Amino acid sequence: MTTALKNIRVLDMSRVLAGPWAGQLLGDYGADVVKIERPQTGDDTRQWGPPWLGTESAYFLSTNRNKRSVTIDIATSRGQQLIRELAKEADVLLENFRTGTLQRYNLDPDDLMADNPNLIVCSISAFGQDGSNAGKPGYDAMIQASGGLMSITGPADSDGGGPQKVGVAIADIMAGMYATTAVLAALTARTTTGRGQRIDVPLYDSQVAWLANQNMNFLVGGQVPGRMGTAHPNLVPYQAFATSDGDLMLAVGNNRQFSDCMDVVGKPTLAADTKFASNAARIENRAQLITILQDKLRANTTAFWLDAFAARSVPAGPINTIGEVLSNDHARERELVRQLPNGAGDEVPTVSNPVALDETPVKYERAPPLLGEHTGEVLSEWLGYSADMIAGLRSDGAI
């Protein structure tokens, strides 16, 4: 079988998470992804440990599968020339430098595209390529804060809560996802136009975009959303509940599920009670309903309730640890964790891409690369450089 992006070459000049996440996804779908890194140090996340597997940080390993590593010093004129040559051979260039940085290194994306009209340049930045904030730096946590996510994450003030960030760098990851879909759209458009294009993906704008129903709750209802812990602003009951030996998540999405839920907990008459018969009524009487449910659910174990809800097709689930998620029966059945050998002889665990394509399957060919592992290979393959030419570049400090 072939892969969806078999003949696509990606020059990945990004680092940390948002850009590398996009590069990893494109590599999963079959693109030849060449990761450009600084000599000696590489991507910042190579040092973001512990934990370590050999000399590699777990953080770096999480986002650089299916890539080849090439070290180039873009502060040197010869290094800049190498990037220009590689860009001529690429279909896509990913970068997440601060806005204007590439221009300072004589690598203006407009110039690269003039040399290669087929090139798609995807720039990921904190606040976009234009506007008054364009030159500002930004990391995930500050984007979660300034982009509104932390204002709706965590327990309510009345429960003693305060703003919280999500437990992974979700603003970066979602920007990487948006970047990936934009690159795929641009590749499709290129089949019609015959030209590449610029793509501008700001972390901040991405963060705002995927606030989804919370955005619309404000735009339509005029009320600023606040923190509600595990509860849902538009559905009740839809939150975590304590049981006699732990917790579970109950996620009731319609009136049929609510009626069955009430049967399960021994309160069947509440489904027809005017205070709870519709979702709007349940939201209005949220506090009373949650108190009733919590009293009932504390009377038995998590396993008991999960079995009872499952028997009536009421959506409910355990609140698993990551250890449980990656080692349970579902993980084994779905191959959520795979092992890939790297150039140092280590078996690198990787969490599978969740997408299954039956004609052009996701590939798991390369473990995250060692620093500069493929420099000579790529310069020879993409540019036709000889061993002597590559040795000269090494002695000059360009690679």
CA 272 to chain centre: 42
Whether the CA torsion 208, 209, 214, 218 is positive or negative: it is: positive
Q: Which of 304, 300, 316 is nearest to 261 (CA)?
A: 316
For residue 23, count other CB atoms closer than 10 A to its CB: 31
Phi, psi of 67 (to 5 degrees): -135, 160
Q: Which of 206, 189, 179 is nearest to 10 (CA)?
A: 179
CA 337 to chain centre: 17
Q: By the 8 A CB rule, do 1 and 361 touch?
A: yes
For residue 129, count other CB atoms closer than 10 A to its CB: 15
> Per the residue annotation, which of 43, 73, 91, 172 is the catalytic one?
172
Token pair, residue 117, equals 């009209």
Mention every residue, 6+ apart, whose C-beta is less than 8 A from residue 164. Answer: 150, 153, 154, 227
Element (H, E) at 53: strand 52-53
Phi, psi of 298 (to 5 degrees): -70, -10
Does the active-site annotation cover 172? yes
Q: By the 8 A CB rule, do 21 and 177 touch?
A: yes
Q: What CA–CA distance (Å, rounded) separates 197 from 186?
A: 7
Q: What CA–CA distance (Å, rounded) separates 66 from 29?
A: 9
Look at strands 120-125 and 347-351 and give their pairing.
unpaired
Q: Which of 296, 165, 275 is nearest to 227 (CA)?
A: 165
Q: By the 8 A CB rule, do 121 and 198 touch?
A: yes
Residue 178 CA: distances (Å) to CA of 26, 232, 236, 289, 318: 12, 25, 31, 38, 30
Count Cα atoms within 13 angstroms, Cβ side, for 130: 3
Q: By the 8 A CB rule, do 208 and 133 touch?
A: no
Active site positions, annotated: 172
